[in-house]
Structures are given as structure tokens and as C-alpha cells.
Amino acid sequence: MEHLPIMLNEVLDALSIKSDGIYVDGTFGRGGHSRAILNQLTTGHLVVFDQDERAIETAQKLSLEYPNKMTIIQSNFEHLNEKLDEYNIKGIDGILLDLGVSSPQFDDPSRGFSYRFDTRLDMRMNLNQSLDAYQVVNQYPFEKLMYIFQVYGEEKFAKQIARKIEKQREIKPIETSFELVDIIRSAYPSKVLKQKGHPAKQVFQAIRIEVNQELEVLKSVLDQAVNRLNPDGRLVILTFHSLEDRIVKQFFNKLTTIDVPSKIPLQVLPTTEFELVNRKVITSKEEELESNPRAHSAKLRAIRKR
């Protein structure tokens, strides 16, 4: 499936693009959001990051349509500061993070992200990294697997699934996505299996988060991103599950609230350096939900430096 940029208008509104501004798209993907940002720039510039070489190839093609307007960086966005320093880029007017995997990554059978295809266990966004789903499934101790399934997958049968994996890999390594799906199925009570959607959904999500260290890299980029913002600069983040959203929400709340001792008179109330762009989290409109299944779990939050 082609990757449709999620909440494109809402993202552009939240970024409030200045035509001469410097922007960062930390998750280029197939460039849906990037292209729309580029279309609003005159003398401005867009720096794009992606850790996936296929995404970088697409970025290189796009840059031919926008000569001298793009800098392309193949890296994890957790290295934001270091990379921007390397390219001598200082203040930023807007940063977008559209987290998770893209539809082309998900739909490419060779990448192993989807339980719909039978393929070697992989799930790496960055094909140069060593940790992959095969190692997680075959080498992690029982307790760690159970924790990942429970916390990252919110999987009710985490313990039973981890136990089955432990048993199975004593006989022979678990090599493919379908082998893993069968093991997950066998750990479920048959009554629950009949009521549920695909039984492997949560475990696959959990393994993907672990392989790509998605929560750790998100936590590590947040401070770097806000410290780079120019006055009126925006950090805009699209999340796709509750764990990511909680991290972003708590970080934004911390930056936009002050504990004021009750004795301080109202007229001298200090203001925070940052403010929320929207009081409430933004979700996709009905129209988008109908045309793009990925939009269902999407949440948009944004802050602005005063």
C-alpha cells in the first residue's frame, strides 16, 4: 500500500510553516509530509532523517525536484544534535516526528514486520543494526520476553506465550514469522482465539518496539528537539500507540506547566518557555479514518517555543 501522510493538514497547521524557515522531518518515510513542507518553502530549507536506506533512496529522488532545498541524513533521529552540528545547522523552526513504521516497510514481506507474510524474523528499520526479531525471540530470557509482551504489547497472555517460545526454541530455533504465529496461537485458550482479532498483533508490535528501541530513542530525542527550537518554533509528533503517546504527553506537560506556590500574586505569575499548540490531543477526521486504516490509532501533539 502506498504511504498516505497522516493528518497532513493538521500537521502543517501545527508546524505553521514560515517560507524562509529551517525544518526537520525526523521520519522521512516516503516523504508525504516532507513534500508538503517543501511546497511551502521559498528560501527555507528541510533537513530529513530516516534510518531506513529505502526511505533515503526516496528522499534522494525527491531532492532532485527541490534542488538545494533538502539535506538528507541517514541516521536514527536519536542523533539529532550530533548530526545537525555536523551539518552546521543551528536553530530550527519546526520538527516533525511521525513515529513507527511506514506502510511500504510494513507491506514488504522481506522486512518481517507483518504477521501476514511468512518470512525470517527481522523487523529492523535500520538494516545495518545487529539486533533483530530472531535474536529477541531466540535469545531473550523468559522474563524479558514476558515483560516485553506485557508492557510493549499489552498482551494478556504474555506469560503463556513466553513459556511456549521458551519450550519451542529448546527443540529448534524459531526462524520465521509463521512459526511464531503458530506458537502464539497455541498459547491462547481456544475460546479467546475465536473472539479476538489476529492473535499475533500485540506480540509483533512488542517485538518491533524492542528491536528498534522505539521508546528509548523517542525519550532521547525530545530534549534535543526542544532545545534546538527558535522562538515560535514547533515540535509536532504523531504517535501510534499509548506508550509513545504517554511519553510525549508527559514531556509536553512538564514543559508547559509550572507549580506556583499559592502565595505568589497572580500578576507576577511566571510563564513557561513553551506552550501547547492545541489544548487537546488531535485525532484523524472521519474522512481520513475511512480511507486510511493507519489513521485509527494516530494522535497528534505539538508544542511551541514562545
Ligand X SMILES: C[S@@+](CC[C@H](N)C(=O)[O-])C[C@H]1O[C@@H](n2cnc3c(N)ncnc32)[C@H](O)[C@@H]1O
C-beta separation of 240 from 297 below 8 A = yes
Give 83 or 164: the residue with its C-beta nearer to ligand X: 83
Residue that has been written with the C-alpha cell 497547521 in this structure:
13
Length of the chain: 306
Give 98 or 155: the residue with its C-beta nearer to ligand X: 98
**How far apart are alpha carbons 107 and 127 in whole angstroms?**
16
Shortest distance (Å) from residue 214 CB to ligand X: 7
Give 125 or 184: the residue with its C-beta nearer to ligand X: 125
Which three cell numbers mark 212? 528498534
Name 92's bridge partners. Answer: 229
Shortest distance (Å) from residue 55 CB to ligand X: 4
Give 27 or 168: the residue with its C-beta nearer to ligand X: 27
Shortest distance (Å) from residue 61 CB to ligand X: 13
Which residues in this chain contact ligand X in the complex, by CB under 6 A?
3, 5, 27, 29-33, 49-52, 55, 76-78, 98, 100-102, 125, 217
**How far apart are alpha carbons 46 and 266 in whole angstroms?**
41
Shortest distance (Å) from residue 189 CB to ligand X: 34
Q: How far is residue 131 CA from its own chain's centroid?
A: 18
Give 183 or 226: the residue with its C-beta nearer to ligand X: 226
**How far apart are alpha carbons 4 and 32 in whole angstroms?**
7
**How far apart are alpha carbons 38 and 248 in whole angstroms?**
26
What is the 8-class DSSP label of residue 77?
Answer: G
Give 50 or 288: the residue with its C-beta nearer to ligand X: 50
Shortest distance (Å) from residue 14 CB to ligand X: 14
Q: How are strands ordered across the β-sheet holding 274-276?
A: 70-74, 45-50, 22-25, 92-98, 229-239, 299-305, 274-276
Residue that has been written with the C-alpha cell 531466540 in this structure:
138
Shortest distance (Å) from residue 244 CB to ligand X: 11
Residue with smallest beta-carbon separation from ligand X: 29
**How far apart are alpha carbons 178 and 76 in whole angstroms?**
29
Give 236 or 255: the residue with its C-beta nearer to ligand X: 236
Shortest distance (Å) from residue 54 CB to ligand X: 8
C-beta separation of 23 from 94 below 8 A = yes
Which three cell numbers mark 184? 502464539
